[in-house]
Every structure is written in structure tokens, then in C-alpha cells.
A = this chain, B = another copy of it.
Amino acid sequence: MWKKEEVCSLLKDAVARREIVVLAAKCEIKYSGRAESYLGDGDRLIILKEDYSLLVHQPQGNAPVNYMKSGTIHSSFVEDGFLFLKCENLVQKEFLTIIMKKVYFFNSHKLNDSQKIVLQGNEADMANMIYKAPEIIEDGFKPVSQEEQTAYGFIDVLGTDKEDILTVVECKRYCADLAAVTQLRRYVERIMDAKGLKNVRGILAAPRITDNAKKMLEDWGYSFVSVIPPKYLAEYSKSQSKLDEY
């Protein structure tokens, strides 16, 4: 168990040196900002980054239970035997207070990282794939150039079918839902309005679609095409020794 005065001092020094701070503590947390929250006593992991963002993690779960964004101002002090960490983001009018009762461990270190993640297989890649291989959508489908695409907003792929009818394609990398259908509908209506056309087709391209969405899609005269989103990076070996798994 760490002395709170010591942790308070180490915390200030670490932040001053722009180190990342990690500590585990029994604490109580209050938040007020866009919403309000209260979290009673329990053990959590507290992370304070060099950009002054703060994360609080419970021992389970993916998402932080509380957090403050970059640019927050932090202050700490010991009062009534508790270590207080007060966090203020005046720009966003958000406030968070952590009241620590016990500190289990503390660590800080300067981390240097200039790398950015390279991520592929997203919706943009899917739209590019359709540009390069339009027959995926249907026979005779011809996309217009990518430059023209942006002229009507955020439409993924705009093209013409074999009968030269203007066709809007909306891509989803996941299972298409009702919101995807209404989005497609909005784009088709926007194009009809902008171009003064009465007949514009709408196609939803996704790996799959929910039954309700399919029904709504067909009620509106649009159609669905099953397309698997691409993955470009070389797959690294998925076969490995199963020894020592835990």
C-alpha cells in the first residue's frame, strides 16, 4: 500500500515530466458535464496520459467507466486521509473528481511513440473495390469518376446501370440495418431533387442485411447486393502453438 502523500507528489512530478501515469486504487468517482455520473467505492485502474487525457477502467470490460479528454487540467491533494484528483475541462465544461481511499500501485514512464496505425478493410476500401470491379454490383453497372462522386455529397458510389439509369450505391461493411436503408433513401431523394430526375435507383451493398431492413428496402423499390469487404494486409499466421495459453 502506498502513502497518499507520496503518490500525490509522484503524480505531480510525473505529469510535469509529461510521463504517462498508471495507478490502481480503491476510489469513488463523480462526474459532471454532458451528463452526470456517480461510481461508489471500488478498485480501478487510473491512467493519466501526457496529453492530459484521463481514463478510469474497472477490472472488467472494454470501455473506460469514466474519462476526461485531452486538454483537461488536473490537480491533486491529500485531505481527510484521502487522495483527491480533480479534473477540469473548462472548454467542454466537464468536471471529474476521484477520491482515492487506497493506492495499490503507482507507475509512470515517459513513452515515445510517433507511429500511426495503418488500418485497412474499411468502408472506403469497399467503395474502391467496387470502383475497380463494378461487376460486383451487377452486370452493366458503370461507376462515374471519383471526382464527380463528391459533387453530390457523401455518396459512396454513384453510377449508371445497363439501361443508363442513375444508381446510388451505399456500402456497409457490417450487416445493413434500417438506418442504412433510410440513409440510402435520403441520398436517392437528394439526387432526384438535385438532378430533377424521377427515376434513380438505389442499391445497398453489404455482407448481409436484416429482414426488416430488406423489407423496407424492397418496399421502397431499392435492392440489396451481398458484398464482402476487402482485407488487403497480408494475413499473418493464424496457426500457432497452443501451448501456454491462458
A residues with a Cβ closer than 8 A to B are 12, 15-16, 20, 22, 24, 30, 32, 34-45, 47, 49-51, 53, 55, 57-62, 65-67, 69-70, 73-77, 86, 88, 95, 97, 104-105, 107, 109, 111-122, 173, 178-179, 182-183, 185-186, 229, 231-233, 235-236, 238, 240-246
A236's contact among B32, B88, B104, B118, by CB below 8 Å, is which? B32
Q: Complex: how many Å from CA A47 to CA B55?
A: 12
- Known contacts A49-B60, A178-B186; 20 additional CB pairs below 8 A are A20-B45, A24-B107, A32-B236, A34-B173, A35-B119, A35-B231, A36-B233, A43-B109, A49-B57, A49-B59, A53-B61, A58-B113, A62-B69, A62-B70, A65-B117, A73-B246, A86-B240, A105-B109, A179-B179, A179-B182
Q: Complex: how many Å from CA A50 to CA B44?
A: 12
How many Å from the CB of A45 to the closest CB on chain B?
6
Contacts of A38 in B (CB 8 A): 117-118, 233
